[in-house]
Chains A and B, each alone.
Chain A
């Protein structure tokens, strides 16, 4: 059974800082990797995904994936107060519809 762990549990950073969120997974056959963001009281919304080893950048957000290390991460450049939210990583194998989520990192960006 897939085990997905996130670190840190919570993080407070000043506006403009670079933020790094981490996710480790246990199933080496995992193929698809997602970051979802959930603002307080709102529905989770997909932020970014990556399907092969390496790096993917979209605006201020970058995902790194290292399948051999069973690790992927989300980096936020120039963090903004509007980035304050619960960040959830999620992992999926190819032959099942199951997406397994971590418990999340609560990010607070102080103005």
Chain B
């Protein structure tokens, strides 16, 4: 088995601030994802990375940057946090980008004051 670790668990920032969320996985999976989940809602894809050094935009990439530093880690940057932006950011990984199940981390809850 494996595990996905997301840091920090809670992130509080100021409006306009640049904020970085980190994700590590030890599944040895090729593909990693960042999703945003607003309260009680579904997941919207922000960025994904099929392999190390690859980066693909999702449906919600505006206002975010991502970086796949190595196979096991994938970071997400909120380039300018918006006031009242409250959501949980979920990192996931899968063996490939085709039919494989995605495994999710516990999430980072973001609050912007």
Residue of A nearest to B104 (CB): A43
In contact, A98 and B45 (Cβ under 8 angstroms): yes
In contact, B102 and A103 (Cβ under 8 angstroms): no
Residue of A nearest to B57 (CB): A98
Q: Which residues of B contact A32 (CB under 8 A)?
A: 98-99
Q: Which residues of A contact B106 (CB under 8 A)?
A: 42-43
In contact, A104 and B41 (Cβ under 8 angstroms): yes
Q: Which of the listed residues B35, B43, B97 has the most CB atoms from chain A within 10 Å of its own CB? A: B43
Q: Which of the listed residues B31, B35, B50, B97 has the most CB atoms from chain A within 10 Å of its own CB? A: B97
In contact, B104 and A44 (Cβ under 8 angstroms): yes
Residues of B whose CB lies within 8 Å of any CB of A are 4, 31, 33, 35, 40-45, 48, 50, 56, 58-59, 90, 97-99, 101-107
Residues of A whose CB lies within 8 Å of any CB of B are 1, 4, 6, 32, 34, 42-46, 49, 51, 86, 88, 92, 94, 96-104, 106
